[in-house]
A and B are shown apart, each in its own frame.
Chain A
């Protein structure tokens, strides 16, 4: 993976966006691409929570590190 501070920051921002989307699905506010049009959607919320974790992990991998 390319190590770059800007890539790391971008991935971190994407992670935060995913967390917000996960919360909106869990609260039933967001109804995009769901099978029913009301109520919370926990499957979608879990998916976006996982995507958020993956984004933060990727951000940490992309962050420039001091040489060992």
Chain B
């Protein structure tokens, strides 16, 4: 992989990780469509992805730094007291409950699922499925909305701290669907949050907070292997920094967008991107 390709992949990963459009799907599809020669089955590609994910997780930590300080403090005070007394403690426990199913499924199933579906055709197909999911989430959401303006409609829904523990576990488990290239982690968690009764912006915040420990944890355990793997660390770190900057910018944009925006445009984008990718792969293999 050349430096330019590494930087491009970093930008792509960072920008698409938090948008509900599947970063893994794009990471599988774009190199295939551009006829890039590097193989994603190459042993050096995993450390590369690990660093890009660490870049994304770092961006989320920076974005929510004050909240994470409160959440860590809330986790310890609630764990020691054995009871929940405020919103920070409740959100910390919700994130723990949401992270556990994703971590279990990730450790035991991730490599198997990824190897099973690591084909550009499959990624394009599942990108369309992801698009249909986004439209489906919004369809279900609209049936429960009241009020004329978007502000009125959103006002009837809750903040992330009010999601139930059962819903948090289900939304967390849905993250495992993102091991399938084409299915978006943020898409299914934001959609799950909407179904659970959260405001769009709060569903996005819960999704980003939920993603941070999983992405960070998965990345950190790979770092020792990365340092001894002989990969071009300098190039990979540069790509990771670019990934982090892109992730930070996209998170800021999405939080602003979801004040009144919906998932529909991303749903239509995924369906169109999947269709176009399938056509390009078929007619220009």
Interface residues in chain A, defined as those with a beta carbon under 8 Å from any beta carbon in chain B:
33, 35, 42-44, 46-47, 50-51, 54, 56-57, 60-61, 63, 65
Contact = CB atoms under 8 A, between A and B. Distances in A.
27 contacts: A33-B108, A35-B111, A42-B224, A43-B218, A43-B221, A44-B107, A46-B217, A46-B221, A47-B103, A47-B104, A50-B99, A50-B100, A50-B103, A50-B217, A51-B100, A51-B104, A54-B96, A54-B100, A57-B78, A57-B79, A57-B93, A60-B79, A60-B80, A60-B82, A61-B82, A65-B82, A65-B83
A43 B111 CA distance: 12
B100 A43 contact: no
Given A54-B96, A57-B96, A43 B107 contact: yes
Contacts, number: 34
A38 B176 CA distance: 26
A60 to B, nearest CB: 4
User: For chain B, what secondary structure do more than half of its interface residues adopt (helix, strand, loop), or is it mixed?
Assistant: helix
Given A33-B108, A43-B107, A43-B221, 18 more contacts: A42-B221, A42-B224, A46-B221, A50-B100, A50-B103, A50-B217, A51-B100, A51-B104, A54-B96, A56-B79, A57-B93, A60-B79, A60-B80, A60-B82, A61-B82, A61-B83, A65-B82, A65-B83
Interface in B58-111: 78-80, 82-83, 93, 96, 99-100, 103-104, 107-108, 111
Nearest to A51: B100
Interface of B: 78-80, 82-83, 93, 96, 99-100, 103-104, 107-108, 111, 217-218, 221, 224
What are the 5 tightest A-B residue pairs by CB atom distance, in nearest-first order? A60-B82, A57-B79, A47-B107, A42-B221, A43-B221
Nearest to A63: B82
A61 B224 CA distance: 35
A61 B78 CA distance: 9
A42 B93 CA distance: 24
